[in-house]
Amino acid sequence: MDCYRHLGDDRIAESLATEVIEAATDFDGTERAPMRIAEARLTLGVVAARQGELELAIQHGERALSNERKSLPSLIMVSRDLTRVLKDRYPSETATKTYLEELSAVGSPLDLSRSARAAGPAQLSKQ
């Protein structure tokens, strides 16, 4: 799914993303692999954005960010593809700006942990 998303083969990327979501969701709707499903939703967002469906792309992106369980480094990395397409094709759209702000807010704890690691343990004890 990820490779086809990067290559721009939207048909196969979309098919595989849908398959990932179906395979990782129990019959009762329970998500067994929430991070993999979030990545699949981001792939669906990229495909939608490339096909001119901004609203659908944003919906997929927001749904990927909405899960309580997040692996921030992975989520941020995969969301770069959607971010790139939105910035390239819809830079002045309000929906794009709003989504990018939401993504930035999700990534801010990651930025804080990076600066804390860079500061080292001695600096953390002073805070």
Range 21-42 average pLDDT: 94
pLDDT (mean) for 91-95? 96
In a domain, 11, yes or no: yes
Chain centroid offset of residue 31 CA: 16
Give yes or no for residue 72 having a pLDDT over 90.
Answer: no
Q: How many domains does the chain have?
A: 1
Q: Containing domain of residue 71, as a range?
A: 2-120
Decide if 46 contacts 3 (C-beta within 8 A): no
Residue 57 belongs to a domain: yes
Q: Is residue 21 part of a domain?
A: yes
Phi, psi of 25, rounded to the nearest 5 degrees? -120, 125
Overall average pLDDT of the 72-89 stretch: 89
State residue 108's pLDDT score. 64
Q: In this structure, is residue 22 part of a structural domain?
A: yes
Q: Greater confidence, 46 or 68?
A: 46
Residue 110 lies in a domain: yes
In a domain, 111, yes or no: yes
CA distance 46 to 84: 9
Confidence (pLDDT) at 44: 98
